[in-house]
Amino acid sequence: MDKIIINGGKKLKGVVTISGSKNAALPILISTLLTDDRCEIRNVPDLEDVNTVISLLRHLGKEIKKNKDRIIISKGDNICSDAPYDLVCKMRASVLVAGPLIARFKKAKISLPGGCAIGIRPINIHLDGFKRLGVKYVIKEGDISLKAKKMVASKIILDFPSVGATENLLMLSTLVKGETIIENAAMEPEIIDLANFLNKCGAKISGIGTKKIIVNGIKKLNGCTYTVMPDRIETGTYIISSAITSGDIKITNLIQEHNESLIEKIKLAGVKIYQKNSFLNIKGINKIKSIDIETQVFPGFPTDLQPLLMALMTIAKGESVITETIFENRLQTVGELVRMGADIKIKGNSAVISGVKKLTGTKVVASDLRSSAALILAGLAAKGKTEITGLEHLYRGYENIVGKLKNLGADIKLIKEGYLKKGESV
């Protein structure tokens, strides 16, 4: 079992460069299914989720070359419109192949992704939208088969501004004749990045970044070269890592407006933030003030950063309340933080945190992607040694987090499975 070992207490210092956004890269790579032309996607982070998308695209008949952070996608020979369970179950975002596949081939068969640690995550909003565009579907034996004889542009009002549903419908409607309007659309920056990519391929999308997206369908999309935006959740992770270690770090290659809600909150917690054009400087203070947060869709406080901010609040002065409104199970980092000495009580979908002087290092298990990052941050601040397992989640979404933290002065190491001799312990 791979594990991360951290000896806490080091103040982080130095410069960290943000990688390309996972949540933008995944739909952009998937949307290349909409064209047979060559696409070159740059600034793609080196992550397990990206590898899963590459396997999925290859399975669906694409030819793919990977050269560091560049991925070149061209038409292969064996086009197929079935996404099987062994690929879909690895990553929920696989469901995003539905939109492009129906747009191209008028049919798709996809294994239902099922729930995951952070919640049930149904796809009813995706399906309701597909139906409005003339797609019919049946669910049988865990698979969903979608078919569309003739697709019709339409006005779709989403029940909730789901990121995935907005992306799926956006991709599908680029090739549906007429004007499709997506109302109550998600406004997350990753959707803007996807729409910008599609427009660069010739799509006609307006209202990008607003609640009302208008798509005028065209017959064919071209290929293009596109650079993925920086990862705002990775940026947030390093902002909080400096705050939690009373550090002094500079973050480069970021888009500051993407993190405004976090920056506001972190300032309220007393952390000093200096915003310059090309970087952000975060100077932690000795005693963080407690703040309350409630997760919201963009531009509100992102659910992905909630477990990380919770880690910070465990050592703040006073009591803070963190309320999760997007995913029903995303307070599951609490149990592990309590094992590290945090004082947290759960009340409904809120966590009430009474700050303690210090966390103490111990063995903890990560249950999902963002909780693994939260436990790393807690370990950086804790007294003594923290040992984190369950790293398969971390590998899905953080490029070289151990190396980047080491560069900032953290005492952290990754022990790969098989590294230790039998009977040896670290």
The residues annotated as belonging to the active site are 116
Number of residues in contact with ligand UD1 under rule CB under 6 A: 21
Pinpoint the alpha helices (H) of 320-409. Answer: 333-339, 369-381, 392-397, 401-407
- The dihedrals phi and psi of 224, each to the nearest 5 degrees, come to -165, 175
- The answer to the question of residue 124 lying near ligand UD1 (CB under 6 A) is yes
CA-CA distance, 64 to 54, in Å (whole number)?
7
Three-state DSSP at 14 gives strand
* Three-class HEC string of 187-205: CCHHHHHHHHHHHHCCCEE
- The answer to the question of residue 172 lying near ligand UD1 (CB under 6 A) is no
Closest to ligand UD1 by CB, 23 or 81: 23
- The answer to the question of residue 126 lying near ligand UD1 (CB under 6 A) is yes
Please list every residue from 149 through 168 that binds ligand UD1, using CB under 6 A: 160, 162-165
Q: Which DSSP string do the residues of 376-394 spell out, in sequence order?
A: HHHHHHSBSEEEEE-THHH
- The dihedrals phi and psi of 210, each to the nearest 5 degrees, come to -115, 175
Closest to ligand UD1 by CB, 160 or 274: 160
Closest to ligand UD1 by CB, 121 or 272: 121
- The answer to the question of residue 121 lying near ligand UD1 (CB under 6 A) is yes
- The answer to the question of residue 368 lying near ligand UD1 (CB under 6 A) is no
Three-state DSSP at 26 gives helix
Q: Select from 124-132, 354-362, 374-382, 402-410 the region that touches ligand UD1 (CB under 6 A).
A: 124-132
Nearest distance from C-beta of residue 220 to ligand UD1, angstroms:
27
Near ligand UD1 by CB under 6 A: residue from 122, 142, 299, 318: 122
Please list every residue from 298 through 337 that binds ligand UD1, using CB under 6 A: 303-304, 326-327
Nearest distance from C-beta of residue 164 to ligand UD1, angstroms:
3
Residues whose CB falls within 8 Å of the CB of residue 424, separated by 6 or more in sequence, listed in order: none
Nearest distance from C-beta of residue 244 to ligand UD1, angstroms:
21
CA-CA distance, 166 to 163, in Å (whole number)?
5
- The answer to the question of residue 125 lying near ligand UD1 (CB under 6 A) is yes
Q: What angle do CA 90, 24, 313 make, to 5 degrees?
A: 80
Angle between helix 232-244 and 260-268 (nearest 10): 10
CA-CA distance, 417 to 246, in Å (whole number)?
32
- The answer to the question of residue 123 lying near ligand UD1 (CB under 6 A) is yes
Q: Which two tokens stand for residue 44?
A: 């793609």
- The answer to the question of residue 119 lying near ligand UD1 (CB under 6 A) is yes
Residues whose CB falls within 8 Å of the CB of residue 243, separated by 6 or more in sequence, listed in order: 266, 269, 271, 282, 284, 288, 312
Closest to ligand UD1 by CB, 124 or 275: 124
- The answer to the question of residue 26 lying near ligand UD1 (CB under 6 A) is yes
Closest to ligand UD1 by CB, 24 or 408: 24
Closest to ligand UD1 by CB, 118 or 382: 118
Near ligand UD1 by CB under 6 A: residue from 3, 4, 21, 23: 23
Q: Which two tokens stand for residue 20?
A: 């390309």
Which residues are at the interface with ligand UD1 (CB under 6 A)? 23, 26, 92-93, 119, 121-126, 160, 162-165, 190, 303-304, 326-327
